[in-house]
């Protein structure tokens, strides 16, 4: 019994050790996006884990493994030297890429992710086995595993959550086993006779209860959707909003792919098809400095069909930052807003109607369509900010609020499947009313008074038309229900209307004087056109105040009266400071990248070349020793020579530096296959080269102009122009490194010294 117990003990511990290691290796496999399936990851982890457990139990076995592997390596090298050298070079490339990834942040190549995962799997299995079998302190594993699993869950590696549950389950089983075995040993020491089949009874009990639980789970009814516990999440995040913001911090950084805004991107609406329950949260989306509560437009849609809204206007006109936008509203009050994105990554700029000018802080351009939906060329991420100058149109009937603009027929479009009952209802509501504006107000008030605001509504039946179902059957819903019904009913009365998605600012500001816009503030509303007023916001959702009640007024800050008196000059100064700060950060980062490029591990390349020559056995030992000494010397000599040459450019005469840098650029471009042709002028060469080497951050045409002015006139180039040439030279050098590969590039640069011949 004693021998059997110890044997079972070891087997169970070994299996638990493998499963524990698998929870972390499987999660890291998802992080690295390796091609192995979870089953393959488990089998590989089991193989590595078995070997590491053997080494931990019998350290001498490591020497036996190495001793047995050495003849295999020698034979492999002897009979297939080319493949062996190729694998050896690949291994050197892997470790070099891994070192630069850790040291300088260089991107880890996709072909090296499997090697990194295997390396990490060995480390994880070794640490786990050593803690369980040698130190016999499983508590050491708890903080290590939980730290990584919680961190990966925190950055939205969702598989980390079930893996963390599996690890905790294994940890509990391991703890119970230890208690069980200690109890057995205590009984033996006390010489108390124990049942011989105690262990079998324990296993039978576990298996029996497990089967009962599985049977009950299989008999319970299944749902096609997950249980609705939004109320619990809403209460928790409302009480502790930092919980949501904390985990979202990594999701909305610059690693996230950005898209244009729509309610489907917010979680507020599950799909483009209207209707069904929604999910609201306290996630912080943006902070807004504004003079009053406002509607911020993010998406304008005009075409309604098959229970969905679509946008027809996909033609955008490009504008530079700080450019004045064309406007259609001619009367109103000018306001300024400063918007800082929180947990949001998008190309959409949220603006009130009517935007006049946008000051961007990320250095990109913007595009605007006829409906004044504004998008950026460069995505906006967390902590990015911009300033808007806008015109709030007057909502006074009888005064011309806009020019005679193109109110196109698309704003009167109605779907073919629309029920005539909707028009009949709108006709009955507006009977006896003459002006379009008063008709719109009558329809709005009817919806606000006779229909209920609710978020937990059932999905619209597949065969039902959305507006008809809402007006005549469901009679409850949220903003998309009310906005869609209002827009369609206005169109039946020949009143142009468009459907808007975006955010509405909350009614109060925080202690800093800012509106904190959260995901639950996502909203849909309607803009309608009236000849005597222009485009006017109309709010039909009962849970929101009518748009006309959102008027300029003193803001409330925790019971105190205050007002918004910031001037445009102050906001522009703030943005300019931000630009200068970002520019300094970019320049500092560029300098660091340049230094990293100049400090490449040439010694690693030299050692690799020496080992390759040693394995090939071409040169005698004495010649190999000479080469071993020459390569590092040559590499160091070229390294310091290039570094000195660069310092001379940075600190020397600008005219000489511009000519020298341009010569180096020409040499690099020639390596890429773009040499200067016979009789080709610098301008002709620039025009030809730019077609093949396009880059948003560099303009070879301007660099050529700087050279021409410097070389053929008395023009003295500035430090900024010299820095522009250096930046372009570094860009072309990186292109050469990418095209030639790491080893060939460093050979040309540090060994042969032909990358820059004019040093």
pLDDT at 622: 47
Residues 45 and 190 in one domain: yes
How far apart are the C-alpha atoms of 479 and 500, rounded to whole Å? Answer: 11
Instruction: Using the structure block, give the residue that is written with the tokens 């493949």.
Output: 83
**Rg of the Cα trace of the chain?**
35
CA distances from residue 169 to 140, 143, 151, 163, 583 in whole angstroms, order as listed:
16, 15, 19, 10, 50
Q: Terminus-to-terminus CA distance in the chain, angstroms? A: 81
Residue 482 counted as domain residue: yes
Q: Are the C-beta atoms of residues 358 and 329 closer than 8 Å to each other?
A: no
Highest mean pLDDT among 95-99, 158-162, 291-295: 291-295
Angstrom distance (rounded) from CA 152 to CA 17: 21
Whether residues 610 and 746 share a domain: the answer is yes
One domain for residues 536 and 611: no
Which band of pLDDT confidence, cut at 50, 70 and 90, is reported for residue 509? confident
> Do the domain assignments include residue 514?
no
Strands 295-301 and 497-504: antiparallel
Q: Using one digit for the tens of pLDDT, what is the confidence trace for 122-137?
A: 999 999 988 888 888 8
Q: What angle do CA 710, 712, 716 make, to 5 degrees?
A: 25
Q: By the 8 A CB rule, do 250 and 382 touch?
A: no
pLDDT score, position 554: 35
Domain that holds residue 640: 599-752
The segment with the largest mean pLDDT, out of 186-195, 212-221, 465-474, is: 465-474
Domain boundary among 188, 219, 250: 219
Is residue 50 domain-resident? yes
Percent of the chain at pLDDT > 90 equals 16
Identify whether residues 544 and 604 lie together within a single domain: no
| Last residue in a domain, options 219, 237, 266 | 219
Q: Which of helix, strand or coil describes residue 315?
A: coil
Report pLDDT digits (tens) over 512-559.
889 999 888 899 999 999 887 888 899 999 988 776 655 444 333 333
In a domain, 355, yes or no: no
- The answer as to whether 161 is a domain residue is yes
Strand ranges across the sheet with 317-319: 317-319, 366-368, 374-380, 346-349
Q: Tell me, what's the pLDDT at 201?
A: 60
Given 193, 219, 245, the domain boundary residue is: 219
470 confidence band (pLDDT: 50, 70, 90): very high
Q: List, in order, residues 6 or more apart from 359 with CB less than 8 Å away.
A: 321, 322, 386, 387, 388, 389, 571, 572, 575
Helix (H) / strand (E) element for 608: namely helix 602-616
User: Is 344 a domain residue?
Assistant: no
Residue 422: pLDDT band (50, 70, 90) is: very high
- Which tokens hold the place of 412? 């009167």
Helix (H) or strand (E) holding 287: strand 284-289
Mean pLDDT (whole number) for 425-445: 92
Q: Is the pLDDT of residue 466 over 70?
A: yes
Which pLDDT band holds residue 3 (cuts at 50, 70, 90)? very low
pLDDT tops 60 at residue 257: no
Q: Determine the pLDDT at residue 452.
A: 92
Q: Which residues pair with 56 in a beta bridge?
A: none
666 vs 630, higher pLDDT: 666
Structure token pair of residue 33: 């996006």
Residue length, the chain? 759
Q: Give residue 341's pLDDT band: very low, low, confident or very high (50, 70, 90).
A: confident
Sort 181 into a burial class: Cβ within 10 Å, 0-12 / 13-18 / 19+. Answer: middle
| Sheet containing strand 522-530, strands side by side | 295-301, 497-504, 522-530, 534-538
pLDDT digits (tens, 9 = 90+) for 407-418: 678 899 998 888
Query: What is the pLDDT at residue 404?
Result: 40
For residues 541 and 603, membership in a common domain is answered with no
Query: Where residue 747 falls among pLDDT bands split at 50, 70, 90?
Result: confident
pLDDT one-digit tens code per residue, 231-245: 555 555 555 555 555
Residues 537 and 646 in one domain: no
* Of 332, 333, 337, residue with least CA distance to 349: 337
Residue 613 makes CB contacts below 8 A (sequence gap 6+) with 619, 624, 627
pLDDT the model gives residue 250: 45
Euclidean distance between CA atoms 272 and 268, whole angstroms: 11
CA separation for the pair 518, 510 (Å, rounded) = 13
pLDDT tens profile 563-605: 444 444 455 455 455 445 544 454 455 445 444 443 445 544 5
Asked if pLDDT for residue 717 goes beyond 90, the answer is: no
Per-residue burial over 500-539, b if 16 or more Cβ lie within 10 Å, else e, is bbbbbbeeebeeeebbbbbbbbbbbbbbbbbeebbbbbbb
Grade residue 705 by pLDDT with cuts at 50, 70 and 90.
confident
Whole-angstrom distance, CA of residue 348 vs CA of residue 370: 15
Please check whether residues 538 and 652 belong to one and the same domain. no
Residues 613 and 537 in one domain: no
Q: Name, of 9-23, 80-94, 623-637, the range with top average pLDDT.
A: 9-23
Instruction: Read off the pLDDT band of 561 (50, 70, 90).
Output: very low
Q: Is residue 335 part of a domain?
A: no
- Mean pLDDT value across the chain: 76
Domain containing 528 — which CATH number? 3.10.620.30
- Measured between alpha carbons, how far is 338 from 110 in angstroms, rounded to an integer? 41
Q: Does some domain include residue 458?
A: yes
Residue with tokens 């040698």: 134
Count structural domains, the chain: 3
Residues 430 and 492 in one domain: yes
Same domain, 82 and 163: yes
Mean pLDDT of 277-290: 82
Is the pLDDT assigned to residue 428 strictly greater than 90? yes
Phi-psi region of 287 (alpha: psi -120 to 50; beta: other; left: phi over 0): beta
pLDDT digits (tens, 9 = 90+) for 77-88: 667 777 767 777
What value does the mean pLDDT take over residues 220-232?
50
Question: Do residues 14 and 123 both lie within one domain?
Answer: yes
For 293-307, 309-323, 331-345, 714-728, which range has the lowest pLDDT when averaged over its residues?
Answer: 309-323
Residue 536 and residue 610 share a domain? no
With a cut of 70, say whether residue 720 has pLDDT above it: yes
Number of other CB atoms surrounding residue 190 within 10 Å: 7
Q: What are phi and psi of 337, to 5 degrees?
A: -125, 145
More confident residue, 691 or 239: 691
Supply the pTM of this predicted model.
0.48
Is 289:338 a contact under the CB 8 Å cutoff? Answer: yes
């Amino acid at each position: 019994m004693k021998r059997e117990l110890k044997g079972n003990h070891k087997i169970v511990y070994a299996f638990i050790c493998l499963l524990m290691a698998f929870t972390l290796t499987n999660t890291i496999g998802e992080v690295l996006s390796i091609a192995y399936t979870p089953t393959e990851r488990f089998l590989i982890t089991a193989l590595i884990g078995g070997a590491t457990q053997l080494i931990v139990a019998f350290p001498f076995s490591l020497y036996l493994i190495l001793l047995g592997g050495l003849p295999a390596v020698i034979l492999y090298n002897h009979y297939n030297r080319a493949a062996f050298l190729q694998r050896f070079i690949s291994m050197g490339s892997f470790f070099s890429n891994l070192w630069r990834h850790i040291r300088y942040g260089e991107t880890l190549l996709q072909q090296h992710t499997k090697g990194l995962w295997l390396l990490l799997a060995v480390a994880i299995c070794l640490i786990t086995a050593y803690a369980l079998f040698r130190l016999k302190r499983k508590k050491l594993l708890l903080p290590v595993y939980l730290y990584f699993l919680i961190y990966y869950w925190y950055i939205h590696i969702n598989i980390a959550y079930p893996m963390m549950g599996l690890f905790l389950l294994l940890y509990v089983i391991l703890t119970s086993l230890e208690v069980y075995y200690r109890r057995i040993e205590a009984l033996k020491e006390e010489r108390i006779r124990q049942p011989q089949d105690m262990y079998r009874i324990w296993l039978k009990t576990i298996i029996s209860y497990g089967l009962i639980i599985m049977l009950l789970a299989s008999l319970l009814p299944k749902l096609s959707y997950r249980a609705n516990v939004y109320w619990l999440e809403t209460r928790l995040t409302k009480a502790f909003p930092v919980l949501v913001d904390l985990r979202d911090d990594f999701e909305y950084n610059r690693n996230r792919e950005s898209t244009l805004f729509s309610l489907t991107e917010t979680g507020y609406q599950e799909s483009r098809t209207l209707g069904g329950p929604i999910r609201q949260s306290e996630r912080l989306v943006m902070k807004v400095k504004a003079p009053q509560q406002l509607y911020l437009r993010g998406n304008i849609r005009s075409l309604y069909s098959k229970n969905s809204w679509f946008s027809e206007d996909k033609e955008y006109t490009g504008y530079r930052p700080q450019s004045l936008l064309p406007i259609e509203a001619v009367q109103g009050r000018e306001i300024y807003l400063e918007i800082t994105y929180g947990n949001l990554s998008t190309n959409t700029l949220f603006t009130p109607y009517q935007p006049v000018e946008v000051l961007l802080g990320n250095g990109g351009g913007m595009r605007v369509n006829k409906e004044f939906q504004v998008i950026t060329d460069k995505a906006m991420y967390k902590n990015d900010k911009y300033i808007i100058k806008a015109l709030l149109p007057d909502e006074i009937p009888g005064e011309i609020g806009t020019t005679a603009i193109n109110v196109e027929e698309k704003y009167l479009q109605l779907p073919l499947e629309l029920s005539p009952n909707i028009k009949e209802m709108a006709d009955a509501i507006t009977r006896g009313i003459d002006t379009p504006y008063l008709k719109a107000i009558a329809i709005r008030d009817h919806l606000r008074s006779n229909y209920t605001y609710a978020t937990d509504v059932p999905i619209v039946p597949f065969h039902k038309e959305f507006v008809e179902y809402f007006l005549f059957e469901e009679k409850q819903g949220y903003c998309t229900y009310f906005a869609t019904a209002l827009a369609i009913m206005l169109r039946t009365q020949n009143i142009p209307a468009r459907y808007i998605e975006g955010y509405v600012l909350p009614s109060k500001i925080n202690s800093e004087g800012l509106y904190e816009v959260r995901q639950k503030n996502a909203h849909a509303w309607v803009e309608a056109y009236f000849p005597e007023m222009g485009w006017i916001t109309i709010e039909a959702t009962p849970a929101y105040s009518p748009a006309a009640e959102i008027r300029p007024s003193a803001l409330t800050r925790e019971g105190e009266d205050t007002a918004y008196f910031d001037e445009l000059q102050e906001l522009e100064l703030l943005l300019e400071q931000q630009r200068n700060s970002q520019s300094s950060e970019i320049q500092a980062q560029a300098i660091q990248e340049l230094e990293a490029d100049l400090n490449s591990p040439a010694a690693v390349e030299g050692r690799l070349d020496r080992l390759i020559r040693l394995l090939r056995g071409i040169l005698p030992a004495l010649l190999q020793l000479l080469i071993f000494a020459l390569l590092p010397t040559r590499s160091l000599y070229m390294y310091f020579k290039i570094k000195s040459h660069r310092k001379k450019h940075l600190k020397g005469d600008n005219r000489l530096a511009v000519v020298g840098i341009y010569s180096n650029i020409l040499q690099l471009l020639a390596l890429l296959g773009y040499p200067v042709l016979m009789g080709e002028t610098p301008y002709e060469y620039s025009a030809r080269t730019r077609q093949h080497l396009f880059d948003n951050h560099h303009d070879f045409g301007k660099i050529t102009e700087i050279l021409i002015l410097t070389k053929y006139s008395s023009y003295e180039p500035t430090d900024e122009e010299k820095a522009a040439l250096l930046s372009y030279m570094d860009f072309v050098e990186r292109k050469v490194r990418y095209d030639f590969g790491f080893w060939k590039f460093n050979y040309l640069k540090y060994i042969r010294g032909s990358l820059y011949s004019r040093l």
